[in-house]
Amino acid sequence: MRETDGLIDLRSDTVTKPTPEMRRAMAEAEVGDDVLGDDPTVRQLEELAAARVGKEAALFVPSGIMANLVSLLTLTGRHDEVIVGDQSHIYTSEVGGLSLLGSVFLHVLPNQPDGTIPLERLRGAIRNQVYTPRTRVISLENTHNRCSGAVLPMEYLYAVAEVAKANGVMLHLDGARLFNASVALNVPPEEIAKPFTVVNFCFSKGLGAPVGSIVCGERAFIQEARRTRRMLGGGMRQAGVLASACIVALNTMVERLAEDHALARQLAEGLADISGVQIDPARVQTNIVIFGIDPTTGWDAPRLLERLKAEGILLSLSGTRLRAVTHYGITPRDIDRTLAVLRQILQGRP
């Protein structure tokens, strides 16, 4: 496994660099103008991705945010609303784009620490009166980034699907890290995707591709989604150069996600042993570790972040807490060093 160029970069699994096999595939990719439908490598990726999640068709897009936008703008219209969790990436980190671009309301319900939204809250929130917006979609996130990479239980997905069906509402999955959920549960991705009308996932996170996400659903939906992507300026020309790396990601980088999960577990358990760190290691199921700092240590998250940076260890903030994400290129030694440095800092004076 590769060392991370001196730095231990745990800011995100988006920091991964393409593998040698990806770089070779990119150099040799057969390409065409994808906006004109001419890129054979993009076609191949879309077919492969659709099959992997058990949907009819798929559409390659530049980013996870665009995947969410394309999915939800295509499913909704003016006066509609989408139910999302208050910790969802869509609500916390996408600049309100769906409302801004689509005149679509976000109906925000509290996420539980395990990433779910209670069923009774969902049922109670669905509305379609002449004086209300019309609930069109419930959007879930799996794994759940800000809930420490929580995996939504399969029974929960099916229960939400029933609520949605009973109320004529569609179901969308922000599956940016769908394959982390699949590996953690040992459940094939198509089973996780099954209850959802539309599913999107990212190649550029734990799967290590440099760029790219994908939207998957029924063929007629994907045709419409192509129009939405065009509107957003997301049509790409010789995109096979990127899609080729995504194909390698799907074919070679899924099973190794288990290594990231093991490292995250090692980190979470080590952190639980450091006085001043607030963490429930049982919450860590995949590759995201989120932890608080007891203020009586004299430290807070932003200052600790800076101090760690000076030691060559990069973390990020998740609200008022710290976040470490494991990924391709991170080694058990990196985790040991991160724990040792943190222990030293928190035991010393700020």
Q: What are phi and psi of 257, to 5 degrees?
A: -55, -25
The Cα 13–Cα 15 span in angstroms is 5
322 binds ligand TLP (CB under 6 A): no
**Span of 57-65, 234-242, 297-305, 334-342 interacting with ligand TLP by CB under 6 A:** 57-65
List the one residue from 18, 64, 115, 329 that touches ligand TLP (CB under 6 A).
64
Number of residues near ligand TLP (by CB under 6 A):
14
Binders of ligand TLP among residues 82 to 141 (CB under 6 A) are: 89, 93, 141
DSSP state of 285: -
Least Cβ distance, residue 287 to ligand TLP (angstroms): 10
202 binds ligand TLP (CB under 6 A): yes
Q: What does the H/E/C string look like for 302-330?
A: HHHHHHHHHCCEECEEECCEEEEECCCCC
- Which is nearer to ligand TLP, 64 or 195 (by Cβ)? 64
Least Cβ distance, residue 133 to ligand TLP (angstroms): 23
Pull the structure tokens for residue 349: 């004076």
Q: E strand or H helix at 243, and its extent?
A: helix 240-252
List the one residue from 58, 69, 169, 176 that touches ligand TLP (CB under 6 A).
176
Q: How many Å separate Cα 39 from the centre of its chain?
A: 26
Among 195, 250, 211, 190, which Cα is nearest to 55's? 190
**Span of 17-25, 61-69, 110-118, 127-135 interacting with ligand TLP by CB under 6 A:** 61-69
Determine the angle formed by the axes of helices 332-347 and 257-272, rounding to 10 degrees: 20
Q: Are strands 288-293 and 277-278 parallel, antiparallel or unpaired?
A: antiparallel
151 binds ligand TLP (CB under 6 A): no
Among 340, 310, 305, 309, which Cα is nearest to 320's? 305
Least Cβ distance, residue 88 to ligand TLP (angstroms): 7
Binders of ligand TLP among residues 205 to 264 (CB under 6 A) are: 213
List the one residue from 204, 228, 266, 338 that touches ligand TLP (CB under 6 A).
204
Q: What are phi and psi of 168, to 5 degrees?
A: 65, 35
- Which is nearer to ligand TLP, 134 or 261 (by Cβ)? 261
14 binds ligand TLP (CB under 6 A): yes
- Interface with ligand TLP (CB under 6 A): 12, 14, 63-65, 89, 93, 141, 145, 174, 176, 202, 204, 213
